[in-house]
Structure 1
């Protein structure tokens, strides 16, 4: 299995919180050295000059560039001329299973968006929503933050071929387990069975799996089975009973209950909806 499934699981279970956001011209004393924040930052440079240091590497951002300054990484910033930055910025957290997203993925801090006007629009909405006292404003701001993170990842051309996970031995272990689940989806697997593949105690394995996949292993297996069932209902003429048996569900009532819980409809209704002209 390539990294696509693992990356998809990580991003699908991403939880974000916006702390603050703004758009302004940096003051002449804009400067801080060698600090390690407990939140992440995005800087979208509109104009001017300045200096950033992220994880010991120096950057001189240009207008139109988006920079990620991740939580937990030592960084510095400073003005360097009489033309300080005018920039959009936001402070936020992004976690998967309680772990900082940027401790899982090895990402380039510098991003050059192909459509900078889209970034301007997204940032404007984040700033406006974050400053609003409307009851739904924080929810809208959070949704726009998710869009901003997606734009950043897409403009990095982050895909299965380019993504690099940190803690590679751990990731390789999990990838091996996900491979096994895909290959044995018709069987009823146990936590002990999966933990044995990577020689881990079941309790430690559950914690590791949930950190990366965003859900416990048995819940993940059920999710994958239901996704396979949805494909079969939409694309084949197999009966509901045949599909459930192919996926290791020996109890039709339990299969229908789990399917409705995950898909929002019974298997029969789902098939009818997907084949509606």
Structure 2
């Protein structure tokens, strides 16, 4: 782990798989309390020109506005953003590192496109943190907060896209398009992730069988559940439970 120090703010742990976004000219000090010669660590820092950030944000707000007009695209907040990386954000960072190491003649162009994608992924990740993790505070100000609440409260039920799009006051096609634009994944992908997270929680209960976990998490086919769980977690539900007990 690392410990992040920002001016006039309490220090906080900065763990693998996380990103911290700060404003222009912000001073960061990072401690590596567990690093040593036998256990080295690394930290990737990316500085993006303010003009590039403004151009990308202006483009998004003009051509691809967010679901709510009063919350335009923006990077971080008045202070800073401490985010948990999504697979999409991690993949973009990995591509950026790969581009920086290439000798391709078009390296600068490729880096520019990748940085633009990185900005989009960062803002989508911020939107997820805001609505997915704190939806209750935004039920009266953001249409997708009600959608997220309904999904979380009815994971074991049959979640119809028609019902979700009605909660968002959108047509089905518009709902799918704007939801993915806002968060970087479709409503169905979000439901699957939430159900898998619930399955992982239920697998901690030793008396619940894998079949019972499957149904309680909202999956109605055991084989599909096991295959999907292994695809996302790398191991089967049974192996995951055994790993918890070791």
TM-score when scaled to structure 1? 0.45
**8 Å CA contact retained: 2:57, 2:73:** no
Deviation of the 1:230 alpha carbon: 1.0
Match of 1:229 in 2: 199
Evaluate the alpha carbon distance shift between residue 133 and residue 105 of structure 1 in structure 2; reply closer, same or farther with a 3 A threshold. same
State the 1:192 CA deviation.
0.9
* Residue-pair matches, total: 166
Displacement after TM superposition at 1:265 (Å): 1.3
For the aligned residue pairs, the C-alpha RMSD in angstroms reads 5.0
Q: Higher helix fraction: Structure 1 or Structure 2?
A: 2
- The answer for the alignment partner of 1:72 in structure 2 is 55
Measure the CA separation in 2 of the matches of 1:177 and 1:200.
Answer: 11
Q: Hey, what does 2:142 align to over in structure 1? A: 172
Question: 1:104 — aligned with what?
Answer: 73
Q: Which residue of 2 aligns with 1:273?
A: 243
Distance 1:174 1:132, change over 3 A: same
Q: Identify the structure with bigger relative contact order (alpha carbons < 8 Å, sequence gap 6+).
A: 1
1:125-140 to 2 correspondences below 5 Å? 130=100, 133=103
Partner of 1:198: 168
Q: Secondary structure at the match of 2:203?
A: helix
Q: Which residue of 1 aligns with 2:214?
A: 244
1:26-67: CA deviations, max 9, x gaps? xxxxxxxxxxxxxxxx85489xxxxxxxxxxxxxxxxxxx98
Partners of 2:102 and 2:65 lie apart in 1 by 27
Displacement after TM superposition at 1:104 (Å): 2.5
Please name the residue that 1:257 is paired with. Answer: 227
Q: Which runs of 4+ in 1 moved over 2 A?
A: 42-46, 66-75, 98-111, 129-134, 168-171, 234-237
**Alpha-carbon deviations, 1:143-176, whole Å to 9, x = none?**
xx8xx98xx99xxxxx869xxxxxx999700111
1:160–1:208 CA distance, 2 compared to 1 (3 A): closer
Is the 8 Å Cα contact of residues 68 and 109 (structure 1) preserved in structure 2? Answer: no
Structure 2 unaligned spans of 5+: 1-16, 28-47, 81-95, 124-128, 132-137
Query: Which structure has the bigger radius of gyration?
Result: 1
Residue equivalent to 2:7: none
1:133 CA displacement: 3.3
Query: What is the 5 A alignment of 1:152-191?
Result: 172-191=142-161
Aligned partner of 1:117 in structure 2 is: none
Shift of 1:71: 2.5
Question: How big is the shift at 1:213?
Answer: 2.3
What is the alpha-carbon distance in structure 1 between the residues aligned to residue 57 and residue 193 of structure 2? Answer: 38
